[in-house]
Amino acid sequence: MKEDIYKQLTGGLIVSCQALENEPLHSSFIMSRMARAAKEAGGIGIRANSIVDIQAIRDTVSLPVIGIIKKDYPDSPVFITPTLKEVRQVCATGCEIVALDGTTRVRPYKEELAEVIKQIREEFPEVLLMADTGTLADVSFAESVGFDIIGTTLYGYTAETAGLNIATDDFAHLKAVLALTKLPVIAEGKIDTPDKAKRAIELGCLCVVSGGAITRPQEITKRFVDAIESLDD
């Protein structure tokens, strides 16, 4: 079963279909249509946030889904499927893969990642667990606590990596991740052109996740506007 999912994902593009409450496209219906468009174009999986979006997407397309719940807690910077409670909720949707913060940072309620994973393995033995990491130390930690897949999702989005970009120096960070871990790696975070997606696969990633460059029209529009406005410089 898990092997089948890996096979389905190998060498392909996963489209992240997410719009938070403060974004113009915030709507499970719209996200399900984004997922349909992704499938029509050859996308091989979907990444989605929130139970309602995951359900709408699973009702609409038959692709593997990486499910998450984004939630802020006051006592920790960890916000992607941060506690056992959210991991359980996403697992209960039947998602093939659940992504959660795989960093070494202190988690809400001081939960221990190894304990969370142990518990989920007992309750949902079929689900694949993806670690959203920032640093190389996160990657080693995530592998040691028993994740199935490493994601680079948080590279550029943690205090230690703020401002960094995965594509810098021909994907130097991604190359280091691939050299460090035996686990399959999903390149995610600012993979915002077809060439970058292609390069990440070429370097040996299992697959690539691209989000904003496909499903966030405000980001897409801004790139056009910025290009035009640069004429004034």
Ligand X SMILES: CC(=O)N[C@H](C=O)[C@@H](O)[C@H](O)[C@H](O)COP(=O)(O)O
Nearer to ligand X, 22 or 125 (CB): 22
Q: Under the criterion CB under 6 A, does residue 18 sit at the interface with ligand X?
A: yes
For residue 160, which of 138, 140, 134 has the smallest C-alpha distance?
134
Distances, alpha carbon 8 to alpha carbons 96, 173, 224, in Å: 11, 25, 34
Stretch that binds ligand X, among 22-30, 141-149, 198-206, 210-218 (CB under 6 A): 210-218
Q: Do the Cβ atoms of 94 and 62 come closer than 8 Å?
A: no
What is the DSSP secondary structure assignment for residue 107, as one 8-state letter?
Answer: P
By rule CB under 6 A, what count of residues binds ligand X? 15
DSSP state letters, 109-161: GG--HHHHHHHHHHH-TT-EEEEE-SSHHHHHHHHHTT-SEEE-TTTTSSTTT
- Amino acid sitting at position 163: G
- Binding residue for ligand X, selected from 117, 135, 189, 208, defined by CB under 6 A: 189
Stretch that binds ligand X, among 57-65, 102-110, 171-179, 185-193 (CB under 6 A): 185-193
- Binding residue for ligand X, selected from 5, 13, 16, 95, defined by CB under 6 A: 16
Q: Helix (H) and strand (E) counts for the chain?
A: 10, 8
Q: Do the Cβ atoms of 161 and 136 come closer than 8 Å?
A: no
Site for ligand X in 148-167 (CB under 6 A): 153-154, 157
Cα(77)–Cα(25) distance, integer angstroms: 25
Nearer to ligand X, 124 or 157 (CB): 157
- Binding residue for ligand X, selected from 188, 197, 199, 206, defined by CB under 6 A: 188
Q: Under the criterion CB under 6 A, does residue 43 sit at the interface with ligand X?
A: no
Site for ligand X in 79-98 (CB under 6 A): none
Q: Could you give phi then psi for residue 18, rounded to 5 degrees?
A: -135, 135
Q: Under the criterion CB under 6 A, does residue 64 sit at the interface with ligand X?
A: no
Cα(149)–Cα(99) distance, integer angstroms: 9
Q: Find the shortest distance in angstroms from Cβ 218 to ligand X.
A: 12
3-state secondary structure of 51: helix
Stretch that binds ligand X, among 34-42, 84-92, 179-187, 209-217 (CB under 6 A): 209-217
Q: Under the criterion CB under 6 A, does residue 209 sit at the interface with ligand X?
A: yes
- Binding residue for ligand X, selected from 58, 173, 190, 196, defined by CB under 6 A: 190
Q: Under the criterion CB under 6 A, does residue 210 sit at the interface with ligand X?
A: yes
Q: Find the shortest distance in angstroms from Cβ 178 to ligand X.
A: 18
Residue numbers at the binding site for ligand X (CB under 6 A)? 16, 18, 68, 153-154, 157, 188-191, 209-213
